[in-house]
Amino acid sequence: MAEIPLEKKGGMPGWVWLLLAVLLAGLLLWWLMAGNDRNNTTEVTRADPAVMGAPIEGAGAYAVGDAVNLDNAIINSVSGNRSFTVDASGQNMPVLFDAGQAPGTTGNDPGFVEGMVVNLDGTVRSASEQLPEGVTANQLGGADRYIYASNIEVVSRP
């Protein structure tokens, strides 16, 4: 039998070149696609502060006549001797209290202050109906409804 001399070729096998070509094509494609994101911009605007406190319809809004039982509600602002606002399920709701002295308070003035934590029970009333005696529409801050609290318990003071 005759021997056929074989010489090894120098260099890399063909599959390595194919793998490198696919890798380079992938990198080129990624670079081209990533360049498109540079042109996309998103405009960010700040919400109008007057709108930020407005209730969002359908987002857990209390309807007129609903019973309200809020525990550990924080008073956001005080608008009168017996009126203030609390965060009620994401809404800044006015609260009117006209049932004598609140537990945990002294004298005829309940002494509601911002940051006070209270538990309250009451019902939601329409601001277009007759308001309790001594209450003005200004105390409701333009709200279309308010919580008429029948019971308020002071949990803590700021």
Question: Between the CA of residue 154 and those of 111, 114, 119, 130, 138, what are the distances in Å?
Answer: 10, 12, 7, 28, 25
| Alpha-carbon span 101 to 82, nearest angstrom | 10
Three-state DSSP state, 15: helix
DSSP β-bridge partners for residue 118: 73, 154
* Helices marked H in 37-104: 49-52
* The pLDDT of residue 48: 45
Q: Given phi > 0 = left and psi -120 to 50 = alpha, else beta, which region is 151?
A: beta
Domain count, the chain: 1
Classify residue 137: in a domain, yes or no. yes
Confidence of residue 52 (pLDDT cuts 50, 70, 90): very low
CATH code at position 103: 2.40.50.140
* The pLDDT of residue 26: 95
Classify residue 51: in a domain, yes or no. no
Classify residue 146: in a domain, yes or no. yes
Classify residue 29: in a domain, yes or no. no
Classify residue 11: in a domain, yes or no. no
Helices (H) and strands (E) in the chain, counts: 2, 5
Mean pLDDT confidence for 11-23: 89
Q: Which range, 25-34, 75-84, 141-150, has the best average confidence (pLDDT)?
A: 25-34
* Residue 107 DSSP symbol: S
| Alpha-carbon span 158 to 117, nearest angstrom | 8
Residue 85 belongs to domain spanning: 63-156
Tell me the torsion sign for CA atoms 77, 80, 81, 82.
negative
Classify residue 135: in a domain, yes or no. yes
pTM of the predicted model as reported, rounded to 2 decimal places: 0.55
| Alpha-carbon span 36 to 21, nearest angstrom | 23
Classify residue 109: in a domain, yes or no. yes
Classify residue 46: in a domain, yes or no. no
pLDDT digits (tens, 9 = 90+) for 99-151: 554 544 444 456 788 888 888 888 888 888 877 776 777 777 778 888 888 88
